[in-house]
Structure 1
């Protein structure tokens, strides 16, 4: 059970997922610990995002407005909520320019999802520089689980990411103290064989969810 927050309210989790059975499965997992709000597409997510939302779980591939576009809008609005992408889209080097805080590959396990949310809630009170450092580390960790060492070494984008991390580490060094270990994001430790158009069967505590990723752009 999640410890009660200082303001004595349940954290608010916004779930943006166009597969209803999947969204309801997540809700079953989370409703005892959090206030869960469900939306079924990106436009509804943009309408629902406000200062009361603590964590947003976004599918990348959604009708009307993609999860990537929703994420971009959240960052442009400078909102305080943390964002985890929960998606069947395998991460590529394009994630380097996405400002997510965690990347969870479908189908997640219940404990993985809860631990990811708890990590993001725990980081909610840190300053902007440290938030950015965590976000950069999340992108690095996500790629490390999907790419070979050779692919990473040959990628100019990845090398630039490492440079950005080092610069940000120096900026927040006083806050980090002697912490030399990298942030362990639960969202970046599981590899799932998923691709656009594949049919997946996800068992969510008794809820069988069949989800098909549509051929939609998430630009």
Structure 2
């Protein structure tokens, strides 16, 4: 197995969800120094945390009493959760996983290196997905800024919402990329004529 290099300047916020407190806490401990981590011991608690704070990655057990991991997964996607989801479970996969909206499936038990590799892989995927969203939104904002005089655009709600979205996306992509933000900086340097 190759050693995983984790970008120590990047920041990813993970939520570990497992009804077995010791298991959730053990995974959180293994992720120290790799990402900011919160733990949830029920599906309901996981949904509350995901809706109240910025979560980039959820490590989710499938079989939990009350609300199962499968139900939490569906609810997160129904709510428009825009992070990545890794199923971390002792349940052997079957063909039912084909329709499940997760991003990676890991079988327990899992060693530290495999966990770190999965988190790093999903961080990169999320960073590049977010980068694409940022480029699209910033292109729209920039063309409006270049073509419409300030007095006609800044009081428009849709422009203010777009500018706020650009700011949120730029913050997230910069946080997820760490020191490798040159692509964002190069995009910002593209010249557009001002109105």
- Smaller-chain TM-score bracket: 0.5 to 0.7
How far did 1:125 drift?
3.4
Select which of 6, 9, 15 maps to 1:4: 9
TM-score (norm 2): 0.60
In structure 2, list runs of 5 or more residues that go unmatched. 1-5, 133-195
In structure 2, the residue matched to 1:70 is 72
By percentage of residues, which structure has more helix? Answer: 2
What is the CA–CA distance in structure 2 between the aligned matches of 1:31 and 1:82, rounded to whole Å?
A: 19
Q: Which has the larger radius of gyration?
A: 2
Whether the 8 Å CA contact 2:43–2:69 is kept in 1: the answer is yes
In structure 1, the residue matched to 2:83 is 81
What is the CA–CA distance in structure 2 between the aligned matches of 1:38 and 1:127, rounded to whole Å?
A: 25
TM-score (norm 1): 0.54
In structure 2, the residue matched to 1:27 is 28
In structure 2, the residue matched to 1:111 is 113
In structure 1, list runs of 5 or more residues that go unmatched. 131-219
C-alpha offsets along residues 95-153 of structure 1, whole Å, 9 cap, x if unaligned? 0110110000000111101110111110113449x9xxxxxxxxxxxxxxxxxxxxxxx
What is the CA–CA distance in structure 2 between the aligned matches of 1:28 and 1:3, rounded to whole Å?
A: 16
Runs of 4+ in structure 1 over 6 Å off: none
Q: CA RMSD in A?
A: 1.8
SS of the residue 1:3 aligns to = coil
Q: Give the number of equivalent residue pairs.
A: 125
C-alpha offsets along residues 148-182 of structure 1, whole Å, 9 cap, x if unaligned? xxxxxxxxxxxxxxxxxxxxxxxxxxxxxxxxxxx
By percentage of residues, which structure has more strand? Answer: 1
SS of the residue 1:125 aligns to = helix
Task: Tell me if 1:59 matches 2:61.
Answer: yes
How far did 1:48 drift?
0.9
